[in-house]
Amino acid sequence: MSMRFTQILLGLSLLLNCFVLAGFVYRTWIAPPPFAYAGPRPIPPRGGPLEMLAQDVKVDPGQRQALKNLFERYASERHNRFAEIQQIREEMAEELKKPEFDMTRIDSLVDRMMTLRADSQKQNLSAIAQLSAELRPEQRQKLHTILAERYGGPPGWRPPPPHPAQPPHPAQ
pLDDT at position 98? 86
Domains of the chain: 49-151 (1.20.120.1490)
pLDDT at position 12? 92
What confidence tens digit (pLDDT) does each residue in 75-84 have? 888 888 889 9
**89 vs 64, which has greater pLDDT?**
89
Whole-structure pTM value = 0.58
pLDDT at position 154? 64
pLDDT at position 17? 92
What confidence tens digit (pLDDT) does each residue in 95-112 have? 888 888 888 888 898 999
- CA–CA distance from 132 to each of 58, 88, 127, 140 (Å)? 12, 33, 9, 6
pLDDT at position 172? 47
As a dihedral over the C-alpha atoms of residue 140, residue 142, residue 146, residue 152, rounded to 10 degrees, the angle is 80
Rounded CA-CA distance 135/64 in Å is 10
What confidence tens digit (pLDDT) does each residue in 4-59 have? 889 999 999 999 999 999 988 888 877 766 665 555 665 555 557 788 888 888 88
